[in-house]
Structures are given as structure tokens and as C-alpha cells.
């Protein structure tokens, strides 16, 4: 990938609030989250730059962990940790 293409991709990644998570000599891996229309728009814009692979996970939900010193438990340890 030449410098001009990398620069163009970087501008697109920034505009879509995506993240470059890996850069190799011949490929760049980008992470993008959003609704399906946002994903489709990103793919259509970067397709001319040469997409090698697209992986989509669909909707994903993840539980957040409560930290011992968070405001949620006011500094108390969870009962099962005692």
C-alpha cells in the first residue's frame, strides 16, 4: 500500500471514528463499530482502495465488570470476594 493510499484510508478512518488496530507492509486492519448503514457506507468508500477481507460480528452485548473502588459499591468489596 503506497503512502497516498494510506493517507486516504487514515482520513476515512478518522471521519468514521474507526480505529486502526494493525499495520503491516501490505495490509491495514481497521475496527469500526456502528449501525449497519454506517458499516455499509464505510465499506463502499474504502472498497476502491482494495479490501482483502471483511469480518462482521453483528450485534454484540458485553457485561461490564464492577471495579472494587467504583462509585457503584462505595469502596466495599463484593461479598463473594471475602
Angstrom distances, CA of residue 40 to CA of 47, 49, 54, 65: 10, 15, 11, 32
Answer for the pair 66, 73: CB distance below 8 angstroms, yes or no: yes
pLDDT tens for each residue of 28-68: 999 999 998 999 999 999 999 988 888 888 777 878 888 77
pLDDT digits 0-9 by tens, 5-16:
889 999 999 999
Domains in the chain, ordered, with CATH? 1-82 (3.30.70.1150)
Whether the model clears a pTM of 0.75, i.e. scores above it, the answer is no
Amino acid at each position: 500500500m503506497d503512502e497516498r493510499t494510506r493517507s486516504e484510508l487514515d482520513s476515512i478512518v478518522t471521519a468514521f471514528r474507526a480505529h486502526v488496530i494493525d499495520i503491516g507492509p501490505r495490509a491495514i486492519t481497521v475496527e469500526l463499530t456502528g449501525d449497519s448503514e454506517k458499516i455499509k457506507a464505510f465499506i463502499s468508500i474504502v472498497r476502491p482502495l482494495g479490501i482483502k477481507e471483511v469480518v462482521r460480528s453483528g450485534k454484540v452485548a458485553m457485561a461490564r465488570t464492577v471495579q472494587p473502588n467504583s462509585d457503584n459499591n462505595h469502596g466495599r468489596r463484593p461479598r463473594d470476594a471475602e
